[in-house]
Amino acid sequence: MKKTIVFTGGGSAGHVTPNIAIIDELDKSVWDVQYIGSKKGIEKELIEKISIPYHGISSGKMRRYLDFENVVDSFRVLKGCMDARKVLRKLKPALVFSKGGFVSVPVIIAARSLKIPVLIHESDMTPGLANKIAQRFATKIFTSFEETLNYFPKDKTAAIGSPIRRGILKGSPYKGTELLGFDRKRPVLTVMGGSLGAKKINETIRAALPLLKDYQIIHLCGKGNVDENYTNLKDYKQFEYVFDELPHYLAATEFVITRGGSNSIFEFLALKIPMLIIPLTKNQSRGDQILNGRSFQEKGYAMMLEEENLSVDTLVIHLAGLKKRRDEMKEKMTSLEVKDAIGVLVREINANSK
């Protein structure tokens, strides 16, 4: 008889794609996989694409500052706990696995109340508020960065790296350039502003196109952000989001401009692609992407440009620097022993289920 595992996590693709990577590696003859997320979050769309049963619950945003919405959302979280408990009682899972995000907290609390083992993974250098709350209810905690161990109980925490989708490593550069209609002999620059896109990055890239003639550009600009004025250019291809073709596009990529989300930058590290990281600002986030970016910059895997300093001129200058340091960065990436986080997590899931 199969055992049931419930995955949770949402609010951004960064809280979902690692879960999908783990789901892909589980033995489906052993595990019945279910997912709990918010009723309208991006996780719903991404999980339904892979045909995993999805259970939507009430959820509220957690804020670190005083706001009347905190009162409203506290009731949503309470309702989410009741919703999650109802789902978990019905599914009777052997384990809950969480990748964080505010929707995960009610699920983890409900799981603990039902004595269901909980494993969580924190991607960023410093833990998000959801995992700060969740840590006391977790059976085991895993992190991407060694530095993050300082924020969790040492007796139940291990740094294992980021759970990277194995499929992302299996792309063909030849298929990538063929799908795009690109010249194999010219460098490809991929721009990724995150699953929701990035307005300033999108605008700056398009404004800089006349100065980026040396590159063939793949621009993943986010839902609703394709600009019809740029749809017929030979060396510039824009997409809201890419699924099946992404491994091939990345295999063809020589440089990447990216946000500082942990999952993405660890994937580019595994692919040994020199990166220019433009993290979310502290006005847009808690500053985790800035810390992630600084860590990668200090280790020689990337350059970083803060969004407040982003302009056509600074973009062009930083890309020139990236091109100059390409071999040095690739050498540092190659010398790094990449941890098999997926393998570790699959073994831990099998070992810790009740």
Confidence grade of residue 62 (pLDDT, cut at 50, 70, 90): low
Contacts of 187 (CB under 8 A, 6+ apart): 214, 215, 216, 254, 255
In the beta sheet, which residues pair with residue 57? 38
> Over the stretch 329-346, which tens digit does the pLDDT of each residue have?
999 999 988 789 999 999
Share the mean pLDDT of the chain: 92
User: Which pLDDT score, from 0 to 100, does residue 53 have?
Assistant: 98
User: Which pLDDT score, from 0 to 100, does residue 65 have?
Assistant: 46
- Decide if 53 contacts 35 (C-beta within 8 A): yes
Which of helix, strand or coil describes residue 260?
Answer: coil
Confidence grade of residue 196 (pLDDT, cut at 50, 70, 90): low
Q: What average pLDDT score do residues 172-183 get? A: 97
| % the chain with pLDDT above 70 | 94
Nearest alpha carbon to residue 307 among 321, 325, 287: 287
User: Which pLDDT score, from 0 to 100, does residue 106 have?
Assistant: 94
Find tokens 């410093």 and name the residue: 126
- Decide if 162 contacts 341 (C-beta within 8 A): yes
Q: And the tokens for 205? A: 């890239």
Q: What average pLDDT score do residues 140-161 get? A: 96
Q: What is the number of helices (H) and of strands (E) in the chain? A: 13, 13
Pairing of strands 31-38, 118-122: unpaired
> Over the stretch 206-250, which tens digit does the pLDDT of each residue have?
999 999 999 999 999 988 999 999 988 999 999 998 989 999 999
Pairing of strands 95-98, 188-192: unpaired
User: Which pLDDT score, from 0 to 100, does residue 339 have?
Assistant: 83
> Over the stretch 292-304, which tens digit does the pLDDT of each residue have?
999 999 999 999 9
Q: What average pLDDT score do residues 48-72 get? A: 71
Residue 100 has pLDDT above 70, yes or no: yes
Q: What average pLDDT score do residues 86-114 get? A: 96
- Decide if 265 contacts 275 (C-beta within 8 A): yes
DSSP 215: -
Residue 252 has pLDDT above 50, yes or no: yes
Q: And the tokens for 188? A: 């490809």
User: Which pLDDT score, from 0 to 100, does residue 63 have?
Assistant: 46
| % the chain with pLDDT above 90 | 79
- Decide if 276 contacts 257 (C-beta within 8 A): yes
Contacts of 13 (CB under 8 A, 6+ apart): 42, 46, 194, 195
Residue 284 has pLDDT above 80, yes or no: no
Confidence grade of residue 105 (pLDDT, cut at 50, 70, 90): very high
Highest mean pLDDT: which range of 55-64, 73-82, 110-119, 161-170: 110-119
Q: How far is CA 344 from the centre of its chain?
A: 18
Residue 311 has pLDDT above 80, yes or no: yes
Pairwise CA distance, residues 188 & 128, whole Å: 34
Phi, psi of 189 (to 5 degrees): -110, 120
Confidence grade of residue 55 (pLDDT, cut at 50, 70, 90): very high
Residue 14 or 177, more confident:
177
Sign of the CA dihedral 24, 108, 94, 350? positive
Q: What average pLDDT score do residues 246-258 get? A: 98
Q: What average pLDDT score do residues 151-159 get? A: 96
